Structure 1
Amino acid sequence: MIRCIIVEDEELAQEVIRRHLERISSFELVGVYRTASEAREALKQSEVDLMFLDIRLPGMSGLSFLSTLPDPPLVILTTAYAEYALESYEFNVIDYLLKPISFDRFSKALQKVDAGRLLSRLPDTPGEDFMFVKSGGKFFRVNFAEVIYIQGMRDYLKIVAEGYTVVTLQTMGDMEKQLPSGRFIRVHRSYIVSISRIRSIYGNSVTLAKGEIPIGLVYKEAVMKLVSSPGSRPSS
């Protein structure tokens, strides 16, 4: 059972999310809160797997609240304002739902939560050289050495590897946690690349065998540190 809380100051929006959750048996609503301070206390006192978080809250905004949490649960943002979508990507949230929230759109967001939790229950635990990803109802083994880059495409990720491509329903944040440190680097909000596959770095782009990947402003410092590290320099 996935334990959920709603952090929302509008009663109508609370009720809509509550009704949607009641239609999905694997999710349990354990609390509804109007402010960030109330939600913070709830997170301290009980185990929460998923938080439906409104962006505009009284006192402290949802995004400000999220930035203060050292170990937040999975988060689905809810709002009536589309202009916050870009900013929300920086917080590695599961999804971003615009009000009014239809059940179809709501259920698609929860499928992402299920996909992430299913990965952690696989009987064959991924080792140092591979991971499993879910695609089309199946779990595919992906060898890290074969991955060239990973691209975020709104609700999905595209894993481009040597000889094959896998599309999976995950967030970039969840994927970063699965990848071994020191072998991959995030160079853009929408791209993670294999360090061993980098042929050159010039200006604001990384050249791979499969073409060029842009370097985002937020990630450029990390990329330049990679260049300056003797043991990690890409081959020319």
Structure 2
Amino acid sequence: MKCLIIDDERPARELMEDNISMVPFLELAGSCKNADEAMKIMESQLIDLIFLDIQMPGLSGLQLLQSGLIEAPMVILVTAYEHYALEGFNLNVLDYLVKPVPFERFLKAVTKARELYLLKNKLVVADAPAPEQNYLWVNSDYSLVRINIDHITHIEGLKDYIKIYQINSDKPVIPRLTLHYMEEKLPADKFMRVHRSFIVALDKIQLVKKNRLYVPNAEVPFTDSYREQLMNYIGGN
């Protein structure tokens, strides 16, 4: 999808440019500081998705939406002011991001845009079962890294990052994501949260001793609040 950024603040544009560069299905068509620059780009090429700031000198983001001058089928508002959310959604924007935008939240918004884009372009067959995906793409060290789900042994949550440990690697992959995000993405029948800071791959558990789980090359703590769920899984296998 071709994307356009409209924001008068250079740091905000640079962060959005960086986020777009991390997503394989997004292509940056232009990064503009005002509506005039954006209009010139939209006159020369088709834009699929616009990231639009609200508070800008001259024509504001909301005024630009109300004017009917932009023809992009999807608009995501990006602003430091939460109180504009209702007005934005009344103008049929796709999503509303509050600065500074975490990459996890950005990814959720653009994934929604991609799904709508595919539907509009009739690339999704109605009622067709989705193929099981056994990998994830994550951004780590300024690169997109493909993670094979079947290779994950456990995941450790840090303050702003996570560590993904795999059976085929001595070093963890460290993306800027949260454990909660990984819980939503990983298959629930294969992974379990066992601690506020750990998710474990159930089929990689080799030994349970006291409050420790042993997986290949590591031991993972688990807390009593997860004990019953964990024991139910072990007892059923």
Look up the match of 1:147: 152
Pairs aligned (count): 156
Look up the match of 2:102: 110
Deviation per CA, 1:25-60, whole angstroms, max 9, x where unpaired? 736268745xxxxx9xx99xx8784676xxxxxxxx
Counterpart of 2:235, as a letter, is: S
1:162 aligns with one of 141, 161, 167: 167
SS in structure 2 at match of 1:170: coil
Q: Is the 8 A contact 1:119 1:133 kept in 2?
A: no
Aligned-partner Cα distance in 2 for 1:187–1:145: 18
Look up the match of 2:138: 133
Aligned-partner Cα distance in 2 for 1:206–1:119: 34
Distance apart, 1:110 and its partner CA = 2.7
Aligned-partner Cα distance in 2 for 1:197–1:146: 9
Distance apart, 1:181 and its partner CA = 2.2
Aligned-partner Cα distance in 2 for 1:173–1:181: 12
Look up the match of 1:202: 209
Aligned-partner Cα distance in 2 for 1:179–1:111: 18
Q: Which runs of 5+ in 1 are unaligned?
A: 2-18, 34-38, 53-105, 231-236
Alignment of 1:52-63 (within 5 A): none
Q: Does 1:220 align with 2:227?
A: yes
1:175 aligns with one of 179, 182, 185: 182
SS in structure 2 at match of 1:167: coil
Distance apart, 1:170 and its partner CA = 0.9
Distance apart, 1:217 and its partner CA = 3.1
Q: Is the 8 A contact 1:130 1:141 kept in 2?
A: yes
Look up the match of 1:13: none
Aligned-partner Cα distance in 2 for 1:48–1:223: 39
* Identical counterparts, % of pairs: 23
- Which deviates more from structure 2 when the two are superposed, residues 217-226 or residues 125-134? 125-134
SS in structure 1 at match of 2:229: helix
Aligned-partner Cα distance in 1 for 2:143–2:176: 12
Distance apart, 1:174 and its partner CA = 1.0
Aligned-partner Cα distance in 2 for 1:128–1:207: 27
Look up the match of 2:43: none
Alignment of 1:13-32 (within 5 A): 23=12, 26=51, 28=77, 32=82
Q: Is the 8 A contact 1:115 1:170 kept in 2?
A: no
Q: Does 1:211 align with 2:218?
A: yes
Aligned-partner Cα distance in 2 for 1:171–1:137: 17
Aligned-partner Cα distance in 1 for 2:111–2:161: 15
